[in-house]
Amino acid sequence: MNRESYQIAIVGESGRGKTYSFRNMDSETTGYINLENKPLPFTTKFKHYSRPNNWQDCYQKLIEYAKNDDIKTVVLESFSSYIDSVLKTARDTKKGFDIWNFYNDEIGKLLYLLTKYPKDIFITAHPAWVETPEGAVEKRIGVKGNEWNKTGVERDFTIVLFADAKLSNDNKREYYYTLNSDGTTTAKTPPVLFEDEESIPNDASKVLEELNKMFN
């Protein structure tokens, strides 16, 4: 890749089209890590596809895919499943404050890996309503623990898209991404990527296309 890699979070409640986003991704060059272990809602068969059993296996798969020259883009489904798996391990193996120390350390390691990741990577996540230090209530990537809610993990992603759905005039369900914050979410997108657009159709492959155009 002849440009810097992007860390792209796709955030939304269940049923808002997060996974559906990847239906048009290149099946030969996309590394898909399905930690949620749910069937994909489309027929695309990825050559590089894995269903790790836990966060440890997922972390190793991220490293493996980073080193595989045949893989150009990685999808991690999902950040929420990853941190839930970490918390289960912490509760099974630690006691008291050590539970949260372990949990926070492992989330920190994952985020550090993502910020240094050598390829574009999409990470899906569920949201949570969080009260900010200023007293506002904001929809963010959901993370248990006060340490992460103070600043939000969004700072470690270059793009944060909020996935949602609406009914069209002919009552068909339309999936879309919100690109930037309206004051109630942590959505963010570089202004030059989708000029003057507030939302775009739900398609991760189009986001990649626009990134490549921007740098060319």
SS3 labels along 128-180: EEEECCCCCEEEEECCCCHHHHHHCHHHHCCEEEEEEEEECCCCCEEEEEECC
Amino acid at 4: E
Q: Is the peptide bond before 78 cis (omega within 30 degrees of 0)?
A: yes
Q: Return the beta strands (E) in the chain as ranges.
A: 7-11, 30-34, 48-50, 73-77, 120-125, 127-131, 137-141, 159-167, 173-178, 199-201
In terms of residue numbers, what domain contains 37?
Answer: 7-215
- Please tell me the pTM assigned to this model: 0.91
Reported as type and span, the H/E element at residue 83 is helix 79-93
The answer to whether residue 202 sits within a structural domain is: yes
How would residue 136 be classed by pLDDT, with cut points 50, 70 and 90?
Answer: low
**Burial of 26 (C-beta count, 10 Å sphere; 0-12/13-18/19+):** middle
pLDDT digits (tens, 9 = 90+) for 102-111: 999 999 999 9
CATH code of the domain in which 155 resides? 3.40.50
Residue 50 to residue 13: CA distance in whole angstroms: 23
pLDDT digits (tens, 9 = 90+) for 68-126: 999 999 999 999 999 999 999 999 999 999 999 999 999 999 999 999 999 999 999 99
pLDDT of residue 16: 87
Average pLDDT over residues 7-33: 94
Please give the tally of structural domains in the chain. 1
Of 69, 67, 72, 74, the residue nearest 49 (C-alpha):
74
The answer to whether residue 206 sits within a structural domain is: yes
The answer to whether residue 1 sits within a structural domain is: no
Of 121, 162, 160, the residue nearest 18 (C-alpha):
162
